[in-house]
Amino acid sequence: MNKILIVDDDQQIRDMLRITLEREGYGVVEAGDGVQALAAYRANSIDLVITDIVMPEKEGIELIMEMKSLDADVKIIAISGGGRINPEDYLKWARRFGVANTFSKPVDRQKLLEVVAQMLAPQVA
């Protein structure tokens, strides 16, 4: 079973994502901020990370950079509802740091599931 780490300071968003992913058979680990996320990433065998960008303690961009320094191949999806700037601007920054897939909030659950399945599909050599 693939394990996905969901990182968001909004409990309702984490709940929605967890339920959506668990219904598809994925294992889920949750974190409320980047500090908790790094601890959870180190303590679990995580196959994919879905992280918000605007969070307390450790912003998503900082988290992405740290995760990429731990594992250059870590698979990350960034999500954002905005903050001080437009969500698309935050997501552009995430892409610059190696995030291949991004979503603005509210997240289209079906599209997210499609992207998750693609990212976790076995790679053919």
pLDDT value, residue 82 = 58
Answer yes or no: is 77 within a domain.
yes
pLDDT value, residue 86 = 62
Answer yes or no: is 68 within a domain.
yes
- What is the average pLDDT value for the chain, to the nearest integer? 91
Answer yes or no: is 125 within a domain.
no
Q: How far is CA 50 from the centre of its chain?
A: 1
CATH code assigned at 9:
3.40.50.2300
pLDDT value, residue 31 = 97
Residues 49-100 pLDDT 10s: 999 998 888 888 899 999 999 999 999 999 987 556 565 777 888 888 889 8
Q: How many domains does the chain have?
A: 1
pLDDT value, residue 54 = 86
Amino acid letter at 111?
Answer: K
Half-sphere exposure of 58 (CA within 13 A, CB side): 17
Domain extent for 69: 3-120
Answer yes or no: is 97 within a domain.
yes
Average confidence (pLDDT) over 29-50: 96
- Considering the chain, what percentage of its residues have pLDDT values greater than 90? 70
Instruction: Tell me the torsion sign for CA atoms 11, 12, 16, 22.
Output: positive
Q: Measured between alpha carbons, how far is 63 from 52 in angstroms, rounded to an integer?
A: 10
Residues 6+ apart with CB under 8 A from 57: 33, 34, 35, 36
Cβ atoms of 64 and 52 closer than 8 Å: no
